Chain A
Amino acid sequence: MSDVTRSSETLLEVVDLRTFINTRQGVLKAVDGASFTVRRGETVGLVGESGSGKTMTCLSVMRLLPVASAEIVAGEVWFDGKNLLEASEAEMRRVRGRDIALIMQDALAALSPVLSIGEQVGEPLRHHFSYSDADVRSRVIEVLDAVKIPRPSERLDEYPHQFSGGMRQRIVAAMGLGTSPSLMLADEPTTALDVTIQAQFIMLIREVQESTGMSVLWVTHDLGVVAQTCDRVNVMYAGRIVESGEVRRILKRPLHPYTIALMESVPSIGTKREKLYQIPGQAPDLRNLGAGCPFYARCPARMDICENEFPSATDDGAGGFVHCWAVSQ
């Protein structure tokens, strides 16, 4: 949180974010002290399994928590020099969809079936800028063309069901890109897509970034997608970022036992193994987290101290960190 880290290079800085959900069975710590940064032009990964808190982190940044019982109880979200958690609702409305775009996994759910794609891609432009109808239309065509929708000037009057799954996801991206946002939060944008279509989408986002300098926070569970998209990665487990660092360091020299286990449990083409490493047990109950490391029960490297005390960050010597007693000692 020093002035050094919040330099002009840093676009987004999340500091000790805690988002809890009140349930009948108790408080569920969906995000439990997450800190990370995204620099300008950079792609940063947020990797984890379902329930690790990655989607809740994105929604907290946008202040779009899904249920009334969810609450950001602590933390700071610095975006372009402003703490979004202290911004007024009116200020947030100016940020959402203009400076920060959010795209989600299910393109069909993100698109209205009763509006043409032209209207939907144009909506943020009408909302945020005082564009004339003609200006909106020409910008929509430009953006649809950028996401490689063929014959955009004809197709913008068509409806979502008239497009394939891959095209729909590109239309959702177009909805986000029209306002030239400086940050895109991409929450599992390719998970529902086939591999060839996923590869097309990855290249598309990369092209957009090269031409506009947009930053991307790429949320995924797929380590291959991380390897192909991200500059830096944050590994989340049970609401905490347990390891963070440069993508090559994380994937080639993972330090946290969870990251190591994940790498060894995923089949990868060309590295045929007799048996996959299997992480025993299952993810912990987020309503019943102790004070210790949440990976303790499944960890092959656990020690007594791990059960009762969450380790502080250890520098990885390359600008990243890891929270693990086995590494720090």
Chain B
Amino acid sequence: MTSPILEARGLVKHFTLSAGMFGTGATVRAVDGVSFSVEPGKTLAIVGESGSGKTTTARLVLLLEEPTGGSIHYQGERVSIDGDREVLKRYRRSVQAVFQDPYSSLSPRMRVKDIIAEPLRIHNDMSGSELEDRVAELLEEVGVSPGRAKHYPHQFSGGQAQRIAIARALALRPQLIVLDEPVSALDMSIRAQILNLLVGLQARFGLSYLLISHDLSMVEHMSHDVGVMYAGQLVEFTDAERLYRDPQHPYTEALLAAVPSLDPDVPLGNIVGGEVANPANLPTGCRFHPRCPLRTELGSPPICETSDPVTAKVKKDSSRLCACHFRGSDRIGTDHDRPEKSGSVHQA
């Protein structure tokens, strides 16, 4: 097995709500112990609903937020905001990002050629005709006519503007691109253009992607590995093929069941009730337990309320994880390892 290009180890990000006039001073556990690795040339997707912590995870990876705990390792080397400056500089060049809305991620006051040239000027000291040629080359790479380099972002359609954002991300020949909902703001007929472009660029340049999305159909199309986040934790992590064929965690099952099929004869699956847990006031034990259909089916075993399966099931091999007391091949040891817990399963 090749070594991962990026590793997140036990990432934690807590925010404290201000205790002002209306504030409560509560702690929001946005990301709470997330570990994953991105393999070279592959796409790892983090899926989850709003409030699951997926965007905060992306921001931690991009070193836009300082983690409360845990660490990020790039090609085996630890990177952090206040770490070694040379390492940090290399990291900033090698890891780029494309965000959801190109009109807000591209400066409205800059011409497209300057937007794409900026990283080249700063990091590569490029100028003159060399710079111009590289900008033109990048625009061609993403399918925008270099003749339009003098225009401003608002003069482009959403799909074209997102291509420009991708060109900027490619400028420094990065190895990893964080894609945060890269097509959610685009029209249906434009999405396929951008997704195909991203797949093509990955194959050409051997890029790795960390894809953040709520769109499970798109994720299946794009990804090699998938992590499912719920209330700040990864509850399932496996290869995409296996996740969609044989989801293990009840939350993953619920998510997949809720995706409306294009076939009118395939009705919506079992619909899970309730809403995503409030990260400032999390349920005890398994964070999904108040909504979990499997728990109901099993007659509400107490372990779901008392023991957090994410902490209980930490294991050495991170290639497959299912944070459920009752699902997945990686159950906590065997029954004799935890007699009191396995006994409690059938009590309720």
Contact = CB atoms under 8 A, between A and B. Distances in A.
B85 interface: no
Contacts of B191: 265-266
Contact of B261 (A167, A228, A248, A276): A228
Interface string A289-329: 00000000010000000000000000000000000000000
A202 interface: yes
Given A199-B258, A224-B259, A262 B189 contact: yes
Nearest to B218: A267
A198 interface: yes
B217 A269 contact: yes
A225 interface: yes
Nearest to A230: B264
A84 to B, nearest CB: 30
A195 interface: yes
Interface residues of A, number: 45
Given A194-B214, A248-B265, A164 B258 contact: no
B314 interface: no
A198 B189 contact: no
A269 B199 CA distance: 18
Contacts of A251: 262-264
Interface in A46-81: 49-50
B195 A276 contact: yes
Interface of B: 49-50, 157, 159-160, 187-193, 195-196, 199, 214, 216-218, 220-221, 244, 254-265, 267-268, 271-273, 275-276
Shortest 6 CB-CB contacts between residues of A and residues of B: A224-B260, A265-B192, A267-B221, A194-B49, A276-B192, A199-B258
Interface of A: 49-50, 164-167, 194-200, 202-203, 221-225, 227-228, 247-248, 251-252, 261-263, 265-270, 272-273, 275-279, 282-283, 298
30 contacts: A49-B188, A194-B49, A196-B271, A197-B49, A199-B257, A199-B260, A203-B268, A221-B187, A221-B188, A223-B262, A224-B217, A224-B259, A224-B260, A224-B262, A227-B263, A228-B260, A228-B267, A262-B188, A265-B191, A266-B192, A269-B220, A272-B220, A272-B221, A276-B192, A276-B196, A276-B221, A279-B190, A282-B157, A282-B189, A283-B189
